[in-house]
Amino acid sequence: MSVVKFPSGLVGIFPQHIFQLGQTVIYPCSTRWKRMFLMISHIAGGLQSRRTSLQEKEKGFTLIELLVVIVIIGILAAIAIPVYMNVQNNAKDSAVQSDLTNAKTAVISVQTTSGTLPASNVNIALIPLTAQDGYTKSASTGTITYLVTGSSFCIAAESVTGSEFFVTDTGGVVKVDAVNTLPLTCTAPAFP
C-alpha cells in the first residue's frame, strides 16, 4: 500500500475515488499510479509557486505603460486646446456682433423718439444711448464707431480677437474680410 499526499488546491478524480488537496490518502496503487500522482503533485506545486510569484511582482504600472498614458493625454490636449480657443474666440466675436445689433437698435430707437438720427460721432459712447434704448457693450468689444451719411448710418467695432464688424441701417452685421470690406461710409474701429 502506498501513501500519496496531494498539494493544497489539487483535485484529482480517479477510479472510484475523489481526492482533494491537502489530504493524505492511503490508496493501494501500482508504481505507475504513484508516479502519476507525484507528477501531478509536482506540476500543481510548480503552478502554485508561479502564481504566487506573479502576484507578488504585479504591484504597479511599468514605465512604458505610464509613458503611453502621458503620450495619449498629450495628444488629446493638443487637439482639445485649439478647439477650445476657437470656441472662445467665436464667442467673443458673437458678443461684438450682438453689441453692434444693440447699438443699431438704440440708434433707431433714438431716431424714432426724436425724429432724427443722433449726430455723427467717432465714438458711439459719446452719444447719449442707454440700455433703455437697447444699447449695451461687452468687454469683448473695443471702441464702437458711428458715422451718419445723409439719412443712413454705419456702426463698426473691433473684437479683442482682432476681427472687425460693421452694420448699416439697411443691413445686418457683417464681418470685415477680403470679400466684405469696410464701406466708405464707416469709420474704422480700434480696440483700446
Q: What is the pLDDT of residue 148?
A: 86
Same domain, 97 and 39: no
Contact 18, 25 (CB under 8 A): no
> Does residue 188 belong to any structural domain of this protein?
no
| CATH, residue 121 | 3.30.1300.70
> Does residue 191 belong to any structural domain of this protein?
no
Q: What is the pLDDT of residue 75?
A: 95
> Does residue 163 belong to any structural domain of this protein?
yes
Sign of CA dihedral 124, 126, 131, 136: positive
Q: What is the pLDDT of residue 71?
A: 95
Measure the CA–CA gap between 103 and 81, rounded to whole angstroms: 33
Query: pTM of the prediction?
Result: 0.60
Name which of 81, 188, 191 is nearest 140 in CA terms: 191
> Does residue 72 belong to any structural domain of this protein?
no
The pair phi, psi for residue 87, each rounded to 5°, is: -65, -45
Q: What is the pLDDT of residue 8?
A: 45
Same domain, 105 and 171: yes
Same domain, 48 and 116: no
Same domain, 100 and 42: no
> Does residue 148 belong to any structural domain of this protein?
yes
Same domain, 53 and 123: no
Give the residue numbers spanning the domain of 11: 2-57
> Does residue 12 belong to any structural domain of this protein?
yes
> Does residue 28 belong to any structural domain of this protein?
yes
Residue 74, all three cell numbers: 498629450
Give the total number of structural domains in the chain.
Answer: 2
> Does residue 82 belong to any structural domain of this protein?
no
Q: What is the pLDDT of residue 119?
A: 79
Burial 13-44 (b: 16+ CB within 10 A, else e): eeeeeebeeeeebeeebeeeeeeebeebbeeb
Burial class for 49, CB neighbours closer than 10 Å (0-12, 13-18, 19+): exposed
Sign of CA dihedral 110, 120, 143, 169: positive
pLDDT averaged over consecutive 10-residue blocks of the chain (192 residues)? 46 46 52 71 78 70 91 94 92 92 87 83 74 79 84 88 89 87 75 56
Q: What is the pLDDT of residue 107?
A: 87
Same domain, 163 and 109: yes
